[in-house]
Amino acid sequence: MKIRCPKEPFLAALQAAAAVVPSRSPKPILTNVKVEANRDEVVLSATDLEVGIRVAVEGVEVVAPGAVLLPSGRLMAIIRESAAGTPFEIHSDGTAAIVKAPRSEFRLPAEDPLEFPAAATFPEGGFIEVSTPLARELVRRTVFATDNESSRYALGGVLLEFTPPGVIAVGTDGRRLAKMQGPAEVRGGGGGEGTPIVPARAMQLIERCLGAADQPVQVAVRGSDIVVRTAVTTISARLVDGRFPRWRDVFPERPEAVRVHAVAGPLLAAVRQAAIVTSEQSKGVDFSFEAGQLVLSGRSAESGESRVEMPIDFSGATVRIKLDPRFMAEFLRVLDPATAVTIEITDAQSACVCSTDDGYGYVIMPLAAD
């Protein structure tokens, strides 16, 4: 195998592939990245047996087709430390690989690429297609609410429900729940089987590898695996086993609820200010919805008290609820600061439901009042 390529596109592809490479593994071969060259393209692939990735590299000249298995960390260091804009060459004779730039040359041991587990390719047949901007929001607005430490249910992943003409993503840790939905199209007769639970780590990798806004994202579920294809990347992941909570029960119809409208940016600033004096032992912030204003107050024995007032369009009777400010801040942080947010509350013991006009819903369970 012999290829010539510029630094920048190869480094970008290598960084994406290296995100899957385990730092330590009982199978040392998994700490490598596979470089495959054929007449049409060069593909880098990596896997930890739970998540796999294939990344096509643009702008590469293939002198001789073939494949080589190289240590991910050392290859990354070599490419990263080479001069910007410098073309380089990778040549393998089957026993070793030479990485050569105009003023440097490295000889690396190369293992047999045939022994490396194959990363999944995108399957033939039907699939679901969503836009790249929606795919990004499906991840950003749900994955932060998952819980990899929980032994209850399957809370370490994001639930996907394909309900043409749409898709719903849900993440929860049992104390709050985030739901994002948007349009999706069925291509080739299907592809969205069941309600897969995708590992949070795989969802974050998908977001990282999304392409330009005008390039769609294709999703196929096959048995216990999900495969996602973006412009130049194919990501596969083993689905999370277990039962997901009945998330629809968290969004009940509450005609008696108080609904207050706010803007994400100012509300986030107020929440962060009120939380300054809170502590691990006293981490709640009181949200008091009063005529014309929202009053946020926090307190702890060691840090004192806070009171932050924020004007709102509200004229009903005062309603109070104590919430974890971190949960509210994480919801607001993934929104554009100008986004309009609707906050729905009934009393101090019932869930606080937040929503936006673009299909985002978020539920926070209240803390016990002092």
In this model, does residue 347 exceed pLDDT 60? yes
Q: Tell me the pLDDT band of 225, cut-offs 50, 70 and 90.
A: very high
Residue pair 106/116 in contact (Cβ under 8 Å)? The answer is no
Is pLDDT of 120 > 90? no
Name the average pLDDT for the chain.
93
Q: 200-208 and 132-140 helices cross at what angle (nearest 10)?
A: 140
Instruction: Report which of residues 303 and 269 the model is more confident about.
Output: 269
Cα distance between residue 226 and residue 191, in whole Å: 10
pLDDT value at 53 more than 90: yes
DSSP bridge pairs for 322: 286
CATH 3.10.150.10 fits 2-115, yes or no: yes
- What's the mean pLDDT in 106-121? 90
**Least confident segment among 58-62, 130-134, 233-237:** 58-62
Quote the pLDDT of residue 190.
Answer: 65
Listed ranges 18-27, 88-97, 117-126, 197-206; the one with the highest mean pLDDT: 197-206
User: Does 187 score more than 90 pLDDT?
Assistant: no
Non-local (6+) Cβ contacts of 127 within 8 A are 187, 188, 190, 191, 192, 218, 219, 220, 229
- In CATH, the number for domain 253-364 is 3.10.150.10
216 has pLDDT over 90: yes
Is residue 175 very low, low, confident or very high in pLDDT (cuts 50, 70, 90)?
very high
Structure confidence by residue, pLDDT tens digits, 66-103: 999 999 999 999 999 988 888 899 999 878 999 998 88
Residue ranges of the domains in the chain? 2-115, 127-247, 253-364
pLDDT at 192 over 70: no
The fourth-level CATH superfamily of domain 127-247 is: DNA Polymerase III, subunit A, domain 2 (3.10.150.10)
Per-residue confidence at 149, pLDDT binned at 50, 70, 90? Answer: confident
| pLDDT at residue 255, rounded to an integer | 86
Q: What pLDDT, on a 0 to 100 scale, did the predictor assign at position 83?
A: 86
Tell if the pTM clears 0.75, that is, is over it. yes
Q: In terms of pLDDT, which residue wins out, 369 or 257?
A: 257
Average pLDDT for residues 296-316, to the nearest whole number? Answer: 94
Rounded Cα distance between 258 and 237, Å, is 42
Please determine, for residue 193, whether its predicted confidence score (pLDDT) is greater than 80. no
Q: Is the pLDDT of residue 134 over 80?
A: yes
Amino acid identity for residue 281 in this structure = Q
Hey, do 2-115 and 127-247 end up sharing a CATH topology, with the first three levels equal?
yes
Looking at the predicted structure, is the pLDDT value of residue 191 above 70?
Answer: no
Overall average pLDDT of the 205-225 stretch: 92
Percent of the chain with pLDDT over 70: 98
297 pLDDT band, cuts 50/70/90, is very high
